[in-house]
Structure 1
Amino acid sequence: MGIFLSKTKTLEHSSESASSSTYTLHKHGSPRTSEFRVFFKKDGIPISPFHDIPLHADMEKQIFNMVVEVPRWTNAKYEISRSDVINPIHQDGEKTGPPRYVKNRFPHHGYIWNYGALPQTWEDPHYVDKDTNARGDDDPIDAVDISQHISYTGEVQQVKVLGILGLIDGGETDWKLIVIDVRDRRAAELHDIDDVDRLMPGYLTATREWFRLYKVPDGHGQNEFAFGGQYRNREFALRIIHECSEAWERLITGNTEPGDVDRTNTTLESSPFRVDPGKLHFPEGEDLPPAPLPKHVEEWFFLPSRDNPGQD
């Protein structure tokens, strides 16, 4: 299963802003299986959600595009594929093992926010972050959307950035942006990380605890944090986004080693990896029912709690 690419001369057409484009999804395989993929098109043209969707929806107002991978209250660990051609969303898991799910650690049911990533960013695995003393995790920068809206896998949302949490996951830098969908009724009142604690008391503490313990039911240790688990503010978060955007630009223009990242794109004139979209052939589109949920996904897992691991 997969998408194949025929070598061809690149086209000469520029990317458009997100607001003037229509994103559609092209699904293949049954959800909750290792074969499932969600491909993207913009105005009917195949695109990479990693590379072709603009980082900014409105640069002047600092509104960003966020690609949703996992909707709130769900457990399947969907993510943008680094290595598949044109980076469809797939369910994470070992190549020879079952797809991954996040366990329900009481009292949390699955993901407690819409979870996704900002396009055109990259946490460079060659770079040791001076704030975390760890290399990047080789993915786009992650974002958690704290709005009331329950999204869907593949939705492209426009979000405000409020702050950031410095997770150290498996010894790698794995920044977690705190954002809110601009459509949310609280968006006009939330401007920085302190506003979240004031208007949504307990949410930042729950979020930090979620990231600290989410792998423990699978037999792994607790995750660590930079800054002792303290959140950093909007200004700091915007600096991290800028650094990750610059890293992505080096990646997509061929000025750094890509590792296993596929750099195929259809809109970026400055990229040597731009291809003719007419030569990208998706697998046949399907709308298949999902595979059954494994029994363990519906169970509760109980772990000790820890109060006040850091000051927000």
Structure 2
Amino acid sequence: MASYSVEERGVPNSLEYRLFFKNDKEQYISPFHDIPMYPDDSKNVFNMIVEVPRWTNAKMEIATKDSLNPIKQDVKKGELRYVANVFPHKGYIWNYGAIPQTWEYPGHKDENTGCYGDNDPIDVCDIGSKVCTRGEVIQVKVLGTLALIDEGETDWKVIAINIEDPEAAKYNNIDDVRKMKPGYLEATVDWFTKYKVPDGKPKNQFAFNGEFKDKDFAIKIIKTTHEHWTDLVSKKKDGGGINCANTTVSDSPFCISQECAKTTVEAVAPCGTAKPIPPKVDEWFYYQKNQELKVNV
């Protein structure tokens, strides 16, 4: 099974910080395009790129519009974006990331939700007990999915578990999560419902009245997004601002050389001493009747 490593560039906790990826040959790759959706030929598990480790707040994400798609922190109004703590949740309540080689095509109106795709790789919530590291590539079993409608766009949230979790064998579908981790699915809906409210936005909505769909449904959705990605990197679909530069997808017109990839990476300054995380990230919000009370902790 392939292994991957990351190279930090820029100053952590700054606008310039980037996390670039390498394969086991020490070649630069795009985590979006070059890491396969399936880690091996069995196709019973999927690769997951961890963007945000559990309990952390920095909204890190694959930079879909940057060459080689490094992980970087989302920016809002010129400032780094951190997800608020909405009681009783501290940061993200799962390891959060994406399945590579998937794309929620914004030109595709989902027959289930009636909304178009959000233009990103499909999101994954790993419910395993291990707190992963940023940029880690893990293998997960898909258990189900939640259909978040984010500002009018379909934003699927796949529920999965790390196959290396000690109890992974006990999880085979979404109902197993209800049995083994009571309250976790309800907490997941609560988290996605309220996480933008402290920023002055309304509660998020869901298709299917916030009900989770099962494993088979989730895998069907993932495969559809993979087909859209295939069309994207073969130039059959217009990706708009999506950067499709890759180093291993040989039949893609966007494939670039290692020399070009190295130039892209070295254009970002070497990794420096991390800046402090703003104290406001530790603030806690209490939600009640569309009002939230901010309390420092």
Which of 17, 28, 31 is the aligned partner of 1:46? 28
* Alignment match, 2:56: 74
C-alpha offsets along residues 124-176 of structure 1, whole Å, 9 cap, x if unaligned? 00111111111100000000000001011100001000000000011110000
* Alignment match, 1:159: 140
Residue type of the partner of 2:6?
L
- Kept in 2, the 8 Å contact 1:27–1:285? The answer is no
CA separation of 1:104 and 1:73: change in aligned 2, threshold 3 A: same
Once residues 126 and 154 of structure 2 are traced to their aligned partners in structure 1, the CA distance between those partners, rounded to angstroms, is 20
Deviation at 1:285? 6.6
* Alignment match, 2:272: 288
Structure 1 residue ranges (4+ consecutive) displaced by more than 4 angstroms after TM superposition: none
- 1:56 equivalent to 2:38? Answer yes
* Alignment match, 1:177: 158
CA RMSD of aligned residues (A): 1.4
Once residues 144 and 40 of structure 2 are traced to their aligned partners in structure 1, the CA distance between those partners, rounded to angstroms, is 18
Which of 63, 66, 69 is the aligned partner of 1:84? 66
* Alignment match, 1:149: 130
Once residues 118 and 46 of structure 1 are traced to their aligned partners in structure 2, the CA distance between those partners, rounded to angstroms, is 19
Once residues 210 and 289 of structure 2 are traced to their aligned partners in structure 1, the CA distance between those partners, rounded to angstroms, is 15
* Alignment match, 2:295: none
- Kept in 1, the 8 Å contact 2:12–2:271? The answer is no
Once residues 286 and 59 of structure 2 are traced to their aligned partners in structure 1, the CA distance between those partners, rounded to angstroms, is 20
Deviation at 1:61? 4.6
Deviation at 1:92? 0.5
CA separation of 1:305 and 1:231: change in aligned 2, threshold 3 A: farther
Q: Normalized against structure 1, the TM-score is what? A: 0.89
Q: What SS is found at the alignment partner of 2:219?
A: helix
C-alpha offsets along residues 253-296 of structure 1, whole Å, 9 cap, x if unaligned? 00011111000001011101111112222126734332212222
CA separation of 1:236 and 1:26: change in aligned 2, threshold 3 A: same
Q: Normalized against structure 2, the TM-score is what? A: 0.94
C-alpha offsets along residues 57-76 of structure 1, whole Å, 9 cap, x if unaligned? 13425111000000000000
Residue type of the partner of 2:67?
V
- Kept in 2, the 8 Å contact 1:161–1:178? The answer is yes
Residue type of the partner of 1:174?
D
Aligned pairs (5 A) from 1:1-312: 19=1, 21-42=2-23, 43-94=25-76, 97-280=78-261, 281=263, 282-283=265-266, 286-304=270-288
In the alignment of these two chains, the number of paired residues is 286
Deviation at 1:34? 1.1
Once residues 279 and 166 of structure 1 are traced to their aligned partners in structure 2, the CA distance between those partners, rounded to angstroms, is 38
Q: What SS is found at the alignment partner of 1:51?
A: coil
- Kept in 2, the 8 Å contact 1:145–1:181? The answer is yes
Q: What SS is found at the alignment partner of 1:195?
A: helix
Residue type of the partner of 1:58?
D
Once residues 286 and 174 of structure 2 are traced to their aligned partners in structure 1, the CA distance between those partners, rounded to angstroms, is 29
Once residues 38 and 130 of structure 1 are traced to their aligned partners in structure 2, the CA distance between those partners, rounded to angstroms, is 35
- Kept in 1, the 8 Å contact 2:103–2:121? The answer is yes
- Kept in 2, the 8 Å contact 1:116–1:142? The answer is yes
Once residues 286 and 107 of structure 2 are traced to their aligned partners in structure 1, the CA distance between those partners, rounded to angstroms, is 37
Residue type of the partner of 1:87?
N
CA separation of 1:61 and 1:52: change in aligned 2, threshold 3 A: closer
CA separation of 1:33 and 1:272: change in aligned 2, threshold 3 A: same
* Alignment match, 2:293: none
Once residues 246 and 70 of structure 2 are traced to their aligned partners in structure 1, the CA distance between those partners, rounded to angstroms, is 12
